[in-house]
Amino acid sequence: MSTEIEIRIGLKSGMADPEGANVQKALNLLGFENVNTVKSAKCYRVVIDGNQDTALAEAEKMCQRLLANPVVHDYSISVAD
C-alpha cells in the first residue's frame, strides 16, 4: 500500500521573496494591475510506502531534515487528492 503526500514549502511571513516580487512585476506589466502580492512556494508530491499515518510521519521527517529550513520556511503536509 502506498500513500501520495503533498508537501508545500513557502517563505515565512516577513521574509524577502524576490521570485514572487518579479512575478508580480511581470504580471503588472502584462496588464494585471490588480495583483498586489505574489508569494512563491514549492510543492512536492511524494509517494511513500505504508498507510497514511506512516507516510505523514515520514514526510514530516523529510521536511525537518532536508526540504525546509525552519529559520525561513513554513510548510504544510497533506494526503494528496
Instruction: Give the single-character DSSP code of 49.
Output: E
Q: What is the pLDDT of residue 81?
A: 82
Q: Judge contact between 54 and 48, C-beta under 8 A.
A: yes
Domain boundaries, the chain: 2-79
Does domain 2-79 fall under CATH 3.40.50.10610? My reply is no
What pLDDT is attached to residue 44?
Answer: 98
Residues 14-61: pLDDT tens digits? 999 999 999 999 999 999 999 999 999 999 999 999 999 999 999 999
Any residues with CB less than 8 A from the CB of 60 and at least 6 apart, and which? 77
Kindly report the pTM of this predicted structure.
0.89
pLDDT in tens, 67-80: 999 999 999 999 99
The residue among 17, 24, 19 whose CA lies nearest residue 38 is 24
**Residues 58, 48: contact at Cβ < 8 Å?**
yes
Q: Say what the pLDDT of residue 22 is.
A: 98
